[in-house]
């Protein structure tokens, strides 16, 4: 039997990640009110028992916790602070948990603005992809005061498996950027490895079975390898969102004077896809850029 929990949650942004996250909250017994720019993308959560709100302000009304899972910094700023935004209806003592991947500096600035109205912001970006969101196995990286993190831990435990308090507000986002540097290298390595195997005339299913079980094995290889072999470029994580993350990484790497040559190369190759109109493909489409460097896909 599902326990009915007392915390009412507003959830804004029911896309690839937000939709399964909202569904997992509902499954855990929370009462969830959802808002998304395109209502159709909230349908799965509505079918699972969520209530629809016509604006972020309405989604946050009469809830004590509001979660956002939006593409980029301007989206979170508009939803939290803009006209019809969360701040218009949030009351003192409310908590906002931003689970998008956005700028750490903008996160801190928004936190200050919200705090003036008695509303607290926590940054809690996630890693683990669409599969992790569906299976409630995300790694959640939180920034904010320890007591607030403890207050929301039971909520986050219903959508993630590993919840790490990374430090003050903004440090969840900074940790996530470090994660994205590592992730893009993994995806690059998969694209190069499989393009190489294909051009060498190897059977890709056999190559994948052998490599996934060895030192090259990873979550990304398990998820993206079969998609590459099937020619399935549907996004679990869009090229344009990965580019957004690398833009944030590069901005900060310049500020702290830490060169990141591998991430810079990956950014250029992803930009190639975006320039070709493939920004909404999944990041596994990088394999096509690598194939192109070798003269295109070989017919085996
Ligand atoms: N996908 C992944 O594997 C993954 C993994 C970890 C972290 N993330 C991060 O999680 C965040 C969401 O990613 P995603 O893949 O779920 O993206 P997504 O599928 O594009 O979902 C974002 C949702 O936010 C909605 N939205 C945008 N602006 C809005 C606004 N002003 N008001 C209300 N709704 C708005 C979009 O509405 P529309 O339907 O109208 O476009 C969309 O449904 C990003 O910051 C991403 O970097 C993604």
174-293, which class in CATH?
Answer: mainly alpha
For residues 176-186, b (16+ Cβ closer than 10 Å) or e, as one string? bbebbbebbbe
Looking at the DSSP bridge assignments, the partners of residue 167 are: 143
Neighbouring-strand partners of residue 27: none
What whole-number distance in Å separates Cα of residue 273 and Cα of residue 79? 29
Output the CA 18–ligand 1 centroid distance in Å.
Answer: 7
pTM of the model: 0.95
- What is the CA(201)–ligand 1 centre distance, in A? 38
Q: Using CA atoms, how far apart are residues 97 and 60, in angstroms rounded to an integer? A: 12
Quote the Cα angle for 76-80-82, to 5°. 100
| pLDDT value of position 297 | 75
What are the domain boundaries of the chain? Answer: 8-169, 174-293
pLDDT, residue 299, reads 53
Question: Is the minimum distance from the CB of 248 to ligand 1 under 6 angstroms?
Answer: no
Distance of CA 263 to the CA centre of its chain: 18
Low-confidence ranges of the chain (pLDDT < 50): 300
66 lines ligand 1 (CB under 6 A): no
| Ligand 1 atom 18 nearest Cα | 15
Q: Which residues make Cβ contacts (< 8 Å) with residue 104, sequence separation at least 6?
A: 123, 143, 170, 171, 173, 174, 177, 248, 252
Phi-psi region of 12 (alpha: psi -120 to 50; beta: other; left: phi over 0): beta
Q: What crossing angle do the helices spanning 239-255 and 261-275 adopt, rounded to 10°?
A: 140
From the CA of 14, give the closest atom in ligand 1: 43
Report the candidate in 183, 184, 193 with the shortest Cα–Cα distance to residue 294.
Answer: 193
Neighbours of 297 (CB within 10 A): 14
> What is the model's pLDDT at position 97?
98
Assign 17 to helix, strand or coil. coil
The answer, yes or no, to whether any atom of ligand 1 lies below 6 A from the CB of 223, is: no
pLDDT tens for residues 157-180? 999 999 999 999 999 999 999 999
| 242 Rama sector, left if φ>0, alpha if ψ -120 to 50, beta otherwise | alpha
State the Cα torsion 135-137-139-140 to the nearest 10°.
70
Give me the pLDDT at residue 87, please.
97
What is the CA(109)–ligand 1 centre distance, in A?
A: 21
DSSP code for 278: -
Output the CA angle 167-170-176, nearest 5 degrees: 90
Q: Is the CB of 75 under 6 A from ligand 1?
A: yes
Q: What number of residues does the chain have? A: 300
- Name 143's bridge partners: 123, 167
Please provide the distance, in angstroms rounded to a whole number, between the alpha carbons at the two ends of the chain. 53
Please give the helix or strand (H or E) that residue 28 lies within, else none: none
Contact 74, 107 (CB under 8 A): no
Architecture of domain 8-169: 3-Layer(aba) Sandwich (3.40)
29 lines ligand 1 (CB under 6 A): no
């Amino acid at each position: 039997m599902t326990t009915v929990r007392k915390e009412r949650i507003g959830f804004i942004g029911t896309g690839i990640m937000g939709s399964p996250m909202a569904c997992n909250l509902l499954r855990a017994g929370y009462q969830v009110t959802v808002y998304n720019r395109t209502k159709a993308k909230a349908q799965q959560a509505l079918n699972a028992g969520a209530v629809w709100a016509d604006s972020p302000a309405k989604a946050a009304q009469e809830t004590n916790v509001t979660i956002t899972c939006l593409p980029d910094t301007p989206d979170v700023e508009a939803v939290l602070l803009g006209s019809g935004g969360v701040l218009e209806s949030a009351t003192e003592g409310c908590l906002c948990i931003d689970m998008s991947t956005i700028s750490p500096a903008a996160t801190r600035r928004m936190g200050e603005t919200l705090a003036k109205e008695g509303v607290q912001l926590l940054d809690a970006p996630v890693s683990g992809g669409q599969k992790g969101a569906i299976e409630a196995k995300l790694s959640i990286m939180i920034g904010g005061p320890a007591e607030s993190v403890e207050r929301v831990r039971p909520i986050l435990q219903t959508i993630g498996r590993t919840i790490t308090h990374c430090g003050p507000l903004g440090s969840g986002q900074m940790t996530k950027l470090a994660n994205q540097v590592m992730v893009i290298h993994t995806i690059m390595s998969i694209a190069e490895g499989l393009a190489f195997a294909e051009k060498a005339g190897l059977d890709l299913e056999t190559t994948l079975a052998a490599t996934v079980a060895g030192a090259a094995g990873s979550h990304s290889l398990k998820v993206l390898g079969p998609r590459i072999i099937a020619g399935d470029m549907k996004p679990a994580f869009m090229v344009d969102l990965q580019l957004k993350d690398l833009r944030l990484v590069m901005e900060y790497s310049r500020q702290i004077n830490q060169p990141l040559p591998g991430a810079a190369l990956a950014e250029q190759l992803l930009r190639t896809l975006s320039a070709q109109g493939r920004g909404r493909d999944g990041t596994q489409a990088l394999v096509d850029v690598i194939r192109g460097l070798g003269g295109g896909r070989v017919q085996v």
